C-alpha cells in the first residue's frame, strides 16, 4: 500500500461496513462512514468520522467528497432485494440513480477509486452449477437489475472517462449478522442459534448447499482489490468463492464446537428452489491470480471464525 488514504464507505452503518472500517483503520487509513441512519453507539467504530445523509442527497455527498479529499469510495449503500421489490421506484433511486450521481461527482472531484459490490442475484436462476466469471447476467428482480446497470455504468466511466472502477461479486455470505428474513441465509442463522443454545430447523434438505464465503474474508477481498495495482487487474468485475458446504456438513461442523447443538431438517419448497438453482462454485480464478485472493476454504476453520466473531459482539 502506498500510505494512508482518505476513504469513504457509503452504507456505512452496516455490518460489512463496520468490519471494513475496522480493517482499514488497522492500516492507518482515514475512514468516513456515510449512512441514512444515525450510527448506534454499540456499532460505531472509534476513529471513524460519521456523516448522516441519504445516498440520494447529492449536495451532502459532494461536500463530503470535497471536505474529506476522498481517494477511495467503497460504495456499499443500497436497498436490498426484498425492500426493492416493495418499492421499485425507491430502489431505482437508491441503487441506480444515486450511483450514477456518485460517478459524476467522482469525475468532478479528483477521480477517487470506486469499489462496488455486485451480487450473485445479477445472474438470475438459469445458471450452471459451476458459474464462469463472465457468464451472461439476466437478473430476475429489480435489485439484481440495478446491480447489473451499475456494473455496466461503472465500466463505461472507466473506459470512457478514466474512473478507477472495481467490482466484486460475492456468493452467499456466512455471517452472524444475516437478517432473520433472509431465506437463503439458513447457515448463518444456524450458527447464531447454536451460540444461543437453541434448536435449529434447517429449511432445506441435508445435501443442499451453495457457493459461500465467510464475511471477514469478503471484507479482506474488498481491501485487497481496492489496493491491487491497476496494471494487475484483467477484469472489470471479479467473482469470489470459498466453499460449498451442504446443510448436513454445516450441522456437523457446528457440533464439533457445540456438541449439544440440536437441529432437524424441514424442507421449505421456496428456500429449496432458491438453493437448487444457485451455483455451487463461483469461478474466481482471476481474483486468485490477479490479486492473490486466498479465502478460508476449510469449513471447520470457517466455523471457528464465525463463533469467534459472535463472541466478539
pLDDT at 302 over 60: yes
3-state secondary structure 26-61: HCCCEEEEEECCCCCHHHCCCCCEEEECCCCCHHHH
| Residue 249: band (very low, low, confident or very high) from pLDDT cuts 50, 70, 90 | very high
Average pLDDT over residues 185-194: 94
| Radius of gyration, alpha carbons of the chain | 19
| Residue 126: band (very low, low, confident or very high) from pLDDT cuts 50, 70, 90 | confident
pLDDT at 1 over 80: no
Q: Give the Cβ contact number of residue 223 at 10 Å.
A: 18
pLDDT at 313 over 80: no
| Residue 82: band (very low, low, confident or very high) from pLDDT cuts 50, 70, 90 | confident
Residue 97: C-alpha distances to residues 102, 119, 163, 274 (Å): 9, 18, 17, 29
pLDDT digits (tens, 9 = 90+) for 15-40: 899 999 999 999 999 999 999 999 88
Q: How many CA atoms lie within 13 A of 232 on its CB side?
A: 14
Q: How many CA atoms lie within 13 A of 79 on its CB side?
A: 25
Nearest to 247 by CA among 197, 304, 187: 187
Give the integer Cα–Cα distance in Å for 86 and 83. 5
| Residue 280: band (very low, low, confident or very high) from pLDDT cuts 50, 70, 90 | very high
DSSP element (H, E) containing 302: helix 299-311
Average pLDDT over residues 283-289: 97
Nearest to 240 by CA among 291, 187, 165, 305: 291
pLDDT digits (tens, 9 = 90+) for 61-81: 999 999 999 999 999 999 988
Classify 30 as helix, strand or coil. Answer: strand
φ/ψ of residue 81, rounded to 5: -60, -45
Q: How many CA atoms lie within 13 A of 64 on its CB side?
A: 25
Average pLDDT over residues 228-248: 96
Residue 42: C-alpha distances to residues 38, 39, 45, 192 (Å): 12, 9, 9, 19
Calculate the average pLDDT of the chain.
Answer: 94
Classify 12 as helix, strand or coil. Answer: coil
| Residue 120: band (very low, low, confident or very high) from pLDDT cuts 50, 70, 90 | confident
pLDDT digits (tens, 9 = 90+) for 127-186: 999 999 999 999 999 999 999 999 999 999 999 999 999 999 999 999 998 888 788 899
pLDDT at 3 over 80: yes
15-26 vs 215-227: helix crossing angle, rounded to 10: 50
Give 301's DSSP letter: H
Q: Which three cell numbers stand for residue 251?
A: 450441522
Classify 139 as helix, strand or coil. Answer: coil
Average pLDDT over residues 96-115: 96
| Residue 275: band (very low, low, confident or very high) from pLDDT cuts 50, 70, 90 | confident
pLDDT at 2 over 80: no
Classify 239 as helix, strand or coil. Answer: strand
Q: What is the pLDDT of residue 132?
A: 93
Amino acid at each position: 500500500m502506498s500510505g494512508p488514504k482518505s476513504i469513504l464507505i457509503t452504507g456505512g452503518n452496516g455490518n460489512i461496513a463496520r468490519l471494513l472500517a475496522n480493517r482499514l483503520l488497522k492500516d492507518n487509513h482515514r475512514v468516513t462512514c456515510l449512512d441514512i441512519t444515525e450510527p448506534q453507539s454499540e456499532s460505531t467504530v472509534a476513529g471513524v468520522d460519521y456523516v448522516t445523509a441519504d445516498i440520494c442527497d447529492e449536495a451532502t455527498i459532494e461536500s463530503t467528497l470535497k471536505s474529506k479529499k476522498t481517494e477511495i469510495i467503497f460504495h456499499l449503500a443500497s436497498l436490498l432485494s426484498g425492500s426493492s421489490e416493495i418499492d421499485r421506484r425507491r430502489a431505482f433511486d437508491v441503487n441506480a440513480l444515486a450511483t450514477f450521481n456518485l460517478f459524476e461527482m467522482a469525475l468532478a472531484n479528483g477521480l477517487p477509486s470506486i469499489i462496488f459490490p455486485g451480487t450473485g442475484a445479477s445472474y438470475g436462476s438459469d445458471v450452471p452449477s459451476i458459474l464462469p466469471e463472465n457468464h451472461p447476467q439476466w437478473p430476475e428482480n429489480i435489485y439484481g437489475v440495478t446491480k447489473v446497470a451499475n456494473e455496466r455504468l461503472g465500466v463505461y466511466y472507466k473506459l470512457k472517462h478514466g474512473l478507477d472502477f472495481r467490482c466484486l461479486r460475492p456468493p452467499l455470505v456466512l455471517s452472524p449478522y444475516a437478517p432473520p428474513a433472509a431465506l437463503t441465509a439458513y447457515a448463518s442463522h444456524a450458527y447464531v442459534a447454536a451460540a444461543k443454545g437453541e434448536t435449529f430447523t434447517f429449511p432445506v434438505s441435508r445435501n443442499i448447499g451453495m457457493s459461500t464465503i465467510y464475511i471477514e474474508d469478503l471484507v479482506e477481498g474488498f481491501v485487497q482489490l481496492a489496493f491491487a495495482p491497476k496494471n494487475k487487474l484483467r477484469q472489470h468485475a471479479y467473482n469470489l468463492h470459498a466453499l460449498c458446504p451442504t446443510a448436513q456438513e454445516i450441522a456437523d461442523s457446528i457440533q464439533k464446537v457445540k456438541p449439544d447443538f440440536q437441529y432437524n431438517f424441514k424442507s421449505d419448497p421456496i428456500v429449496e428452489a432458491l438453493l437448487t438453482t444457485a451455483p455451487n462454485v463461483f469461478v474466481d480464478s482471476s481474483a486468485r491470480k490477479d490479486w492473490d485472493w486466498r479465502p478460508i476454504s476449510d469449513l471447520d476453520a470457517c466455523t471457528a471464525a464465525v463463533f469467534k466473531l459472535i463472541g466478539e459482539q
